[in-house]
Structure 1
Amino acid sequence: MSVDVMVDKLTISSAQGVILHELSFSLTAAESLTILGHTGAGKSLLVQALMGNLPASLSHRGQLRVAGIDPLASPRRARQLLWGKQVSMLPQEPWHALNPVMKVREQLYEVWRWVRGLPRAEADSLTAQNMHDLDLTDAAAKIPSQLSGGMAQRAAFAMANAAGGQLMLADEPTKGLDASRRHTVIELLQRQQRRGSLLTITHDIDVARALGGRVMVLNQGRMVEQGTADKLLRSPQHPYTQRLLQAQPQHWPAHGSTRELSSEVLVNAENLTVYRGKSRIFDELSLSIQAGEVVGLAGDSGSGKSTLGDVLLGLLPYQQGRLTLAPTLAVGAKLKLYQDPPASFAAGVPLGKLLQELIHRHRLDAAQLSPLMHRLQLLPHLLQRPAEQVSGGELQRLALLRVMLIRPRFIVADEPTSRLDPITAQMITEQLVSYCRQQQCALLLISHDRQLLDKSCDRVVQLTG
């Protein structure tokens, strides 16, 4: 059955104001629409509206139809009949889509067996094939907390794809993936295009270009430009779209490689070897980082980038080698910017209250909060919301704000711009790097984007797993 989507003057509002302004578009069978835009522009809220899952704190007006029903006005049972078999969703945060206590293979098998209703043997065979196609065979017996960000994203995609919905809603489907893995997911999205309709939300302009079809650009909750992918991305007309394309890392100015560094070594690792169970993550790895130095860490998904960062912070043990930290790196002087920011904020508590508690506990300068909010382009009303009611990009900037309040001497930033549009990503990367250089804070910047690292870092370390 084909699934048509009709959105007419959809407006979504919170108590603080309008988030999405009178958005209108349609999507028919075999069509592809990609939405680009500013972090916090309401893109993910649109997907939640199409699934009928808008937070209760938000209101809406306008018309909305998915497969003939209004998912925001229909009983929950009617909405659930759409899920999986007609409409499937790949959420922005893969860990939120996975059962935290069930092995990955078992979760995927259940989709084939119970959502698709296939016989046991066929479901088992297709599960094995999916795991192989997405290079998840080694993750089959793991639970989600044991997966890298890229592996979790691929696992969530496998389950959304297996559900077989004629319409797929993909929210940042390639976030946190290296180039080869991203290519694999793009191929699967293209397979979806051939069998049904696809609505993709992404910050990755290369993904929009590869998927083709139509592209819509949102800024500050308003549609500013739309057209075919080829024409719009080749010759954008709106100033915001032009800025968006120009903010890709390949267009960033180089920081300059002749900067004089401090002689103070804050982190020194010699011949580190780390195992996870019986699997060797890396061995005999040596790395030193000086005060004020920005070191990039690149590598494929699963190569051990996040693991190395956790080892250097003392969050994970190492089995062989030696790790020496400067005496100034006491508790609180070394911090991590997490790849999954929702996991680092308490749910259900206003963000302003969490920050005030941090300021009180660590005797920080409360007067710095407002200037840092302005510096990171965060609006004050966000502090009235809990983490789950803030966009991924806004939450990542709040996580950075929290780190800057504490003023550590060593930061591990794990994919800090993976949830950000190119304009905001450039701004945040520049702010983070500038802050660390000014404060003589060592920074280990982890990213799948080699161009971003080459343009931002004093040097780049490549992990091969």
Structure 2
Amino acid sequence: MIPFLQADAVTVHAGSQRIVLPTSFTLEPGRPFTIVGETGSGKSLLAQALVGNLPDGLSAGGRVRIGDLAEDASAATRRALWGRGITVLPQEPWLSLDPTMRALPQVAETHRFVAGREDAEAYGAAGRDLADLGLGEALARYPFQLSGGMAQRLAFAAARAGGAPIVVADEPTKGLDAARVGDVVALLQKGLEAGGALLTITHDLEVARRLGGDVAIMLRGEIVEQGPAETVLAAPSHAYTRTLLAAEPRNWPRRPRASAAGASTEPVLTFENVAASRGGRRLFSGQSFRLQPGEILGLTGPSGCGKSTLGDVALGLLRPDAGRVARRSGLAPAAFQKLYQDPVAAFPPRRTLRRTLADLVALHRLDAGRLPALMERLRLHPALLDRRPGQVSGGELQRFSLLRVLLLKPALVVADEPSSRLDLVTQKEMIELLVEAAAQDGCAILLVSHDEALVAAVSDQRIRLELEGAGSLAA
């Protein structure tokens, strides 16, 4: 049986610097292949090299064969197969969606122009695709009206609509709640059952477990362990793989609860019977809590239930429909900060990260001397400062988001899925930094996450929102 794709000693270079070491594997029909690795390890660059879509300034070496092509498939040959022969499910949905086009026509467009369907058939197929992904009520919404998880599912539907047999899924479940992760895994497996091939890039070991097949573990541009998923993830031979397994949130020790503040201490944030809507739909109501300095409040729930909306209400970015929201008096506006779920949208795209941080330091008269230590703690190489946001990985940009917030020493941080783009080891380090900020600086944190185990490990109190709007507060 001829492999759908064969990679032979594929490398990625930035000038004379080799970023991805020679990597070889095959994609067999019906058998998934998953690459797991830390943020910035080169796994996404490897995928881009395979499909012929490396960023400017980078070059690929080695050989890539697709199907029964007798000769080495050049990057131009692979690009000619986009949509029909090979498709990529993107890591950053905001960069792949048209902000001026509603959800239904975005997917219908692929059915029409790539798969060759007539208008009525294309729109019908697009509607079914979106309904299958739980987006039946979002057909007429623009991308900016969707939650991060909903935008990810929309991008998934648009990429898959062309019916390409080879799917390269780059972090396809990033930012999704557990139920939606299962839905996406099931959709990926459905393509395999039809005889397709699947290459998945992920930092989620549970996704690798569910997909099965073969797994490769990448560290600093090198595959350090490879084999059947049930072997690699149950009895790993490499120390780094064992470190990844230990870093899963379900294996974290439970954080001791923060000491209760005195009755005379003014809360940083107070909600009293708060209700809010978005897009004309009521998301939650009757929410009441007090968040004291140094406390962490964990907020969980399925995608689209209103987690990000509650955070926006907390910061005054959105007015509630009912109830009272109070933020601690006497604090400057910069004391209330947000870590965005999609950091791409939170950075000026044409400025280098160095310029953006320098502007922040100058505007708020901050201590620039704290930058090197924070960058080292977040494992951010100084060379990244001279790149623009689009020239670093999503995980690296998320860590720059945290660095920017910590420089301000805020009183309240609304952390909206702050680790959804990170591998397990880096996620643990990033959450530990948030916990340190709460403990050492008295910073209150509203932690929004789809990961129940992560929230349970670090939170002093918890809220779970449901899609129908009911929420519950628990210690």
TM-score, structure 1 normalization: 0.95
Q: 1:334 to 1:141 in 2, by over 3 A?
A: same
Identity of aligned residues (%): 47
2:322 corresponds to which letter in structure 1?
Q
2:473 maps to: none
Which residue number corresponds to residue 109 of structure 1?
A: 108
Match status 1:412 vs 2:411: no
Moved more, 122-131 or 342-351: 122-131
Distance 1:74 1:51, change over 3 A: closer
1:70 Cα deviation after fit = 5.7
Q: Kindly report which structure 2 residues correspond to 1:11-410, keeping only aligned pairs within 5 A, or say none.
A: 11-14=11-14, 17-67=17-67, 68=69, 73-75=74-76, 78-195=77-194, 196-257=196-257, 259-261=259-261, 263-410=265-412
Task: Give 1:113's aligned amino acid.
Answer: R
Q: 1:70 to 1:325 in 2, by over 3 A?
A: farther
Maintained 8 Å contact 2:11/2:46: no
Distance in 2 between residues matched to 1:203 and 1:185, nearest whole Å: 15
Contact persistence 2:278–2:309 (CA under 8 A): no
3-state DSSP of counterpart to 2:255: coil
Query: Which residue type is aligned with residue 367 of structure 2?
Result: D
| Unaligned runs of at least 5 residues, structure 2 | 468-475
Contact persistence 1:261–1:293 (CA under 8 A): no
Aligned length: 462
CA distance in 1, matches of 2:327, 2:80: 56
* Cα displacement (A) at 1:164: 0.5
Worse-matched range after superposition: 1-10 or 180-189: 1-10
Q: CA deviation at 1:10?
A: 2.1
Unaligned regions of 5+ residues in structure 1, if any?
Answer: none
Q: Which residue is equivalent to 2:472?
A: none
| Conservation of the 8 A alpha-carbon contact between 2:49 and 2:60 | no
Separation in structure 2 between the aligned mates of residue 428 and residue 258 of structure 1, nearest angstrom: 19
Residue 74 (structure 1) shift: 4.1
TM-score by length of 2: 0.93
The amino acid that maps onto 2:439 is: R
- AA aligned opposite 1:190: Q
Q: After superposition, give the CA deviation of every residue in 1:145-203 in whole Å (9 maximum; x if it has no partner).
A: 00001111111111222210110010111111111111111100101111200000111
1:16 Cα deviation from its structure 2 partner: 8.7
> Which moved further from structure 2: 123-132 or 427-436?
123-132
- What is the CA RMSD across the aligned residues, in angstroms? 1.8
Task: Name the amino acid aligned to 1:357.
Answer: D
Instruction: Provide the C-alpha distance between the structure 1 equivalents of 2:60 and 2:118, rounded to a whole number of angstroms.
Output: 42
Q: State the one-letter code of the partner of 2:254.
A: A
Q: CA offsets, 1:19-39, max 9 Å, x none?
A: 211222222333310000111
